[in-house]
Amino acid sequence: MSHNMSIPPDPEEQQIDFNMSPIKKEQLKRQKKRALQQKLRDELPVLTLQEIRRFRLPFHEALLAELTESGYTSTAEFIKQLLDLQEKTRKKAGPGTHIWLRPQLINSRQNLDLLTQYLTKAERAHNAEDFATEWEQMLHLAAHYAFGPDDWWWLGEQLLFQCVSMEYPGDFQKQEAIAYFIIGKYLVENGKKAEAGKNYLELAREMSQGKSWNCTKILNKKQDIVFIESCRILYKSLMEEAQILMKSDPAKAAEICNIARKRASEACEHKWEYTALIIRGRCEVLLNMTSDAIATITKALNRAVRRKDVLGICDAKISMALAYLQHGKAFESLECLKELKQMAEENDLPFYTAQAYRYMGEYYLNQQQPYEATPLLMLAFYIFNDIKDLERREKVRTWSAISAGEELFPAFIRLIKKCDGGDEGHENIMKLIKWIDEKEFFWTQQSKFSFSYTSLQQSVFELSSDEEVS
């Protein structure tokens, strides 16, 4: 490497004649500066009117102006209506409400762009009389919001109503049926408007009967044919309605169960059929139509047996036992519960085992046999506790306390009768005081039972042994 290196001269200085006057040099520098400024200006991008507008105006205003200028007047008007609708809804709900706290469409550039993308395609298709494409674009967009995050369900609902209000010339029955199905599905599952949803689903069911129409692509989720999917949602909605009505109007609930069973049959959901029959049978029990209830539940039980559905059989056995008891056939009721207990134990179904013990305990309690009832109710209590069914556990706790009280009542009466003065009477009064103040048992030496879990188990095991022998 050479050691005679030197710093290269500044190109600008090379061009300057050092013999020039200072004024000439300053002029030359200014010219170069102006040339550089012009070069930089030339390299700046040229902004269009649209880009300037988006920079200066709020995004939604710029978007609506662009759509109008581009001829998409329907799209611009519809988006404006959506913006106005949300603003009115927010003001009506008031600050702090769930509706008020939802994200606003006016501030969501991503959703405004998505709406613009689909709605402009739909408008172009409409102008070209390509109505199938228009319908497809609108329904895809509506389903995207109707079955997406719940903050945007309101937008999906508006789009779905727009879809079902569209009228097309020619045969568009398939598109119409699919639109009815999707809005019905939304109203039942997300919109909390079950009655309106069921009406749309009934229309979809009737129009799609015998057709292979499917909407997997629109919902972006695997679907059966529209007819079967409509029947399934109708069944679930009808059963929910029936279970709510059971307490206030069991007759109407029974009618609804009958319709639900038909929808289950049309959907080829055989398990749902006998579930509807069981609920209908329970409604008939409430109406004191016990003969009808037994016949209805027998149908359900036979279907469950044919399909070897153990859970269905267990449900039917419980309902059958209640129907027999209401009908005055106590022995048949008890036999049903014994069969239920045996099946539940054989198939390791602790819930149904607990239910069997519970209803057997209640049966014996109703038969004025608390000594038989208490151990069974306590076993049900422990099993419900083990499987974390706290609601039923607390109900059984109440019944077992009542049953235990029934057991203690005779001993309590005998003890009171002995409190008639003297040393023995004084001793018996002290027993009662200790029982009230210190919870000390007064029946330990007199009663034939103990409240320990082990002895309760033993009592039930003895009862089970007797059942097996019989």
Q: Are 233 and 185 in contact (CB under 8 A)?
A: yes
Of residues 307, 288, 244, 376, the one with CA closest to residue 315: 307
- State the angle between helix axes of 350-366 and 310-327 in degrees (0 to 180), rounded to the nearest 10: 10
The fraction of the chain above a pLDDT of 70, given in percent, is 81
The fraction of the chain above a pLDDT of 90, given in percent, is 59
Q: Give me the amino acid identity at 312.
A: G
Q: Give me the amino acid identity at 75.
A: T
Q: Specify the range with the lowest mean pLDDT, choosing from 43-52, 217-226, 380-389.
A: 43-52
Of residues 376, 371, 335, the one with CA closest to residue 353: 376
pLDDT level of residue 11 (50, 70, 90 thresholds): low
The pLDDT of residue 433 is above 90 = no
The pLDDT of residue 313 is above 60 = yes
- State the angle between helix axes of 250-266 and 270-286 in degrees (0 to 180), rounded to the nearest 10: 170
Q: Which residues contact 53 (CB under 8 A, 6 or more apart)?
A: 62, 65, 66
Q: Specify the range with the lowest mean pLDDT, choosing from 39-48, 311-320, 430-439.
A: 430-439
Q: Specify the range with the lowest mean pLDDT, choosing from 137-146, 253-262, 363-372.
A: 363-372
| CA-based max dimension of the chain | 144
Q: What pLDDT, on a 0 to 100 scale, did the predictor assign at position 124?
A: 96
Mean pLDDT calculated for residue range 209-232 = 94
Q: What pLDDT, on a 0 to 100 scale, did the predictor assign at position 29?
A: 82
Degrees, nearest 5: CA angle 387-389-390: 125
pLDDT level of residue 178 (50, 70, 90 thresholds): very high
Mean pLDDT calculated for residue range 392-406 = 84
Q: Specify the range with the lowest mean pLDDT, choosing from 80-84, 111-115, 164-168, 389-393.
A: 164-168
Domains of the chain, first to last: 234-346 (1.25.40.10)
Q: What is the pTM of this model?
A: 0.76
- Write down the mean pLDDT value for the chain: 83
